[in-house]
Structure 1
Amino acid sequence: MADTQPDGGPGAPGRLELRADCSSCFGLCCTALPFSVSADFPVDKPAGQPCSNLGEDYGCTIHTRLRDEGFRGCAVFDCFGAGQQVSQVTFAGRSWRENPGTARAVFDAFGVMRRLHELLWYLDEARSLPSSEPIDAGLRAVREETALLTQAGAAELRDADPDGLRERAKPLLRRASVLAREHEPGTAQNRAGADLMGAKLREADLRAADLRGALLIAADLRGADLRRADLIGADLRDARIGGADLTGALFMTQPQANAAQGDAATRLPRALERPEHW
């Protein structure tokens, strides 16, 4: 991925604003979202109810022990900066605790905003690829419309159609992937949507492979070469990627990295951070 990011227009969030800043958020992921007893959560919590671990300062009181306490789902989750956008922009710094009458609107806005910010992440990456120049006008148009919507008020967000924007973006993102991979060395395998759960792919050559939406849960990808592979929507939960090379992997997100099992030798795309639990 390129270091420089395209200009999304006035007021549009840049790449840094698409990263979660919990210090500027009113604990929205800890309150708005539901979870159920599973391998990812030790208790049930309905949507709209604050997690028992949410502090008065909106911080998580067990943040450093989430995995040990059974809250792996929280450790994996990332809002792409939607939390601080809703807290500080949409609702101008007015918290749902201080204004309980706004709670439902705040939580609904958070769900929409997260989808918009995730889409912005993909669009920004697509536009950062030199090979995307032939489709940049289309990418830019969808991005500008999406970015403008992130600045809207709660009522407009409530009536927004993020699915419509995503459908418009899909063929552009798919074309960006093809353009970025078509001249790359490698086998360029088409495994889009493939069921590769638990697959033995250690040291596999997956350069420029199409792994869009692939099920890679618990797959052994240790030492695999995934340079320029398209990973949009791929399920990497518990995938073993120790020593794997994901340099320049396309459309990989922080939640995907958080869900996988890597190590100090794993090479990630430059836009992502190495998870603390590796």
Structure 2
Amino acid sequence: MSDRADDSAHLADGRHDLRADCGRCAGLCCVAPAFAASADFAVDKPAGQPCRNLLADFGCGIHDSLRDRGFPGCAVFDCFGAGQQVTQVTFGGRDWRGTPEIATSMFTVFTVMRQLRELLWYLTEALELLPDCPLSSELDRARERTERLTGASPDELAAFDATAYRQEIGPLLTRVSEVVRAEVRDSAPDRSGADLIEANLRGADLRGTGLRGAYLLGADLRGADLRKADLLGADLRVADLRGAFLGESLFLTQPQLDAANGDAATTIPPSLTRPRHWSTSATPADPTTARPRRRRRRR
């Protein structure tokens, strides 16, 4: 449901199949989750109840004006392709409207599938970051196992503990992050989980910084250098990314970009697309803005 500038853009890497294809889904993200009335959602919606904006063909009746109508949370949501996987593969093309008896199972499976597909995103990126490394074989096994899990039956998926599985894979992704970040700085700073809400980080040199799970909500990151910074799970809601260098950031996802504000000067990874709500002009040059630095050659 994201409002990206180019939803049809072809990914430059092996994650092209981990993008949502809403035309092949049964509107699962508009039914399965619960919404609480807030700055992200204009209304309360219980889990399993269709959103009032869901159309008969499973499309969104206000897709082009989600932010203006008070649903920015919907605009930034991305299922990593879980919707079409559950609809077309797990349930063989059936949907909860045409086959009401599968509704509860379908909604439960969707929640599990989304977590697995997000892990596939991270594992695929990790393999691309370290294609020839002692960790590669371990990453490859983890990715193959996760891929197999996405093909499990509805009952198997409904009973699967996705949270525990994420905790199992997490340390492996941490090791990848440490190896890559060490190439930028011998002792890369770790600010994982840090409270940086509305922090003034304009022009900051954050290369190789561990920002996993950091709270960067509303932070001023204009012109900040975030190359090789680990942003897995970082909260970038309404963060100001104008002119920031994110092209080589680690484990950055589309929902994080969609939740932030950027402009034409913001560099992003080739696997992601520039959100439509971002400014099409570039932030004026500023002497405090970080400048690109020569990359260290991998040894």
TM-score of the superposition, structure 2-length normalised?
0.87
Letter aligned with residue 241 of structure 2:
I
Tell whether 2:132 aligns with 1:102: no
Q: Tell me the matched-pair count.
A: 268
Tell whether 2:214 aligns with 1:214: yes
d(CA) in 1 for partners of 2:42, 2:210: 35
Q: Is the 8 A contact 1:90 1:152 kept in 2?
A: yes
Q: Is the 8 A contact 1:202 1:222 kept in 2?
A: yes
Q: Is the 8 A contact 2:13 2:271 kept in 1?
A: no
Deviation beyond 4 Å, 4+ runs, structure 1? none
How far apart are 1:273 and its partner, in Å? 0.8
Q: What's the CA shift string for 1:167-203, capped at 9, x where partnerless?
A: 2211110010111111215983221111000000001
Q: Is the 8 A contact 1:186 1:205 kept in 2?
A: no
Q: Is the 8 A contact 2:218 2:238 kept in 1?
A: yes
d(CA) in 2 for partners of 1:244, 1:147: 34
Q: From the superposition, tell whether residues 52 and 4 of structure 1 become closer, same or farther in structure 2 (CA, over 3 Å).
A: closer
Q: What's the CA shift string for 1:108-164, capped at 9, x where partnerless?
A: 010000000011111111011136621111111121111101011101101212223
Q: Is the 8 A contact 1:109 1:158 kept in 2?
A: yes
Tell whether 2:267 aligns with 1:267: yes
Q: From the superposition, tell whether residues 109 and 169 of structure 1 become closer, same or farther in structure 2 (CA, over 3 Å).
A: same
Secondary structure of residue in 1 paired with 2:183: coil
Map 1:123-202 to 2 at 5 A. 123-130=123-130, 133-184=133-184, 188-202=188-202
d(CA) in 2 for partners of 1:267, 1:88: 35
d(CA) in 2 for partners of 1:119, 1:170: 9
Secondary structure of residue in 2 paired with 1:258: helix
Q: Which residue matches 1:8?
A: none
How far apart are 1:18 and its partner, in Å? 0.8
Map 1:23-102 to 2 at 5 A. 23-102=23-102
Secondary structure of residue in 2 paired with 1:54: coil
Q: Which residue matches 2:290?
A: none
How far apart are 1:239 and its partner, in Å? 0.4
Secondary structure of residue in 1 paired with 2:124: helix
Q: Is the 8 A contact 2:130 2:136 kept in 1?
A: no
d(CA) in 1 for partners of 2:206, 2:19: 28
d(CA) in 2 for partners of 1:61, 1:251: 32
Q: What's the CA shift string for 1:201-256, capped at 9, x where partnerless?
A: 00111111111111100000011111111001111011000110101100001110
Residue segments in structure 2 that go unaligned for 5+ positions in a row: 1-10, 279-299
Secondary structure of residue in 2 paired with 1:134: coil
d(CA) in 1 for partners of 2:168, 2:132: 16
Q: Which residue matches 2:245?
A: 245
Identity %: 57
d(CA) in 2 for partners of 1:254, 1:214: 17
Q: Is the 8 A contact 1:146 1:165 kept in 2?
A: no
Residue segments in structure 1 that go unaligned for 5+ positions in a row: 6-14
